[in-house]
Structure 1
């Protein structure tokens, strides 16, 4: 029999703080997607849905629907050979997914907290000719954007999981950076 993951206490206010952080990270790279697809509002809608939840709206199926639409936008951009735009749309998808962070001690849940920032960093790297320094700079910026509540929530989960290619590497860099910060008061 497989052991069930340990439950984690997670308040609605903490969940909203995580969604606010994720939507901020995604919004920073939305222009990358919109330059390639000016009439496609799917990633923007996903970010707006995440921010609305962060601002007090209910967590509804509409947020999930926006997340799925952003995923389709990411796939469309990828299929068109627009890797940076695809990653920007994936940041929007991750922002909407942040509202559905599960209170279970599983490393995979860290993606709900940091996925938006990692995909945003990758979008910026790709926009700069696959320059890893640009991604690292954005990870530092994303570290500074994470407030004490986000850091405290992150620390309740295991470290970011292995794998995930370059986005996974960026997520683990951000995870390590945030866990190294002094404990929030």
Structure 2
């Protein structure tokens, strides 16, 4: 009376008895009629996989959008620097500053040099070199993205001296020429 070979083998081995074999075969027939076998689990698994894939795709899209916005912002800042940089700065006075742990030197005229030392102008990194920008524009650029402004002497001018410093009266000028 056993319907399939596996049940016959299980009966022969003594792992199941006739009642249990009949019950299992009835249960299998019932599941085939009603379609409740593994289809429900399969559908749930497929739906879960689709949901996970959708969440993963959304996360990738957000990451791509964030990278694209960063590139657009960087391009906009470079364009602002190119449009507003001071053009006629060539002169005989050298100004030295540190960029990425290297000492760089640019030659400026005396008026630009004085404004740079006083803090009303700043040095910004440009694609192929350095640009001199007004302080107000540098503040706007730093608000949007940091890393473009290299020298900002207005921050140094606003520092207060320690009252207990015995050398406070001896101020070392920033524009000291050696």
| TM-score, normalization by structure 1 | 0.23
Larger RCO (alpha carbons 8 Å, 6+ apart): 1
Q: Larger C-alpha radius of gyration, 1 or 2?
A: 2
More strand by share: 2
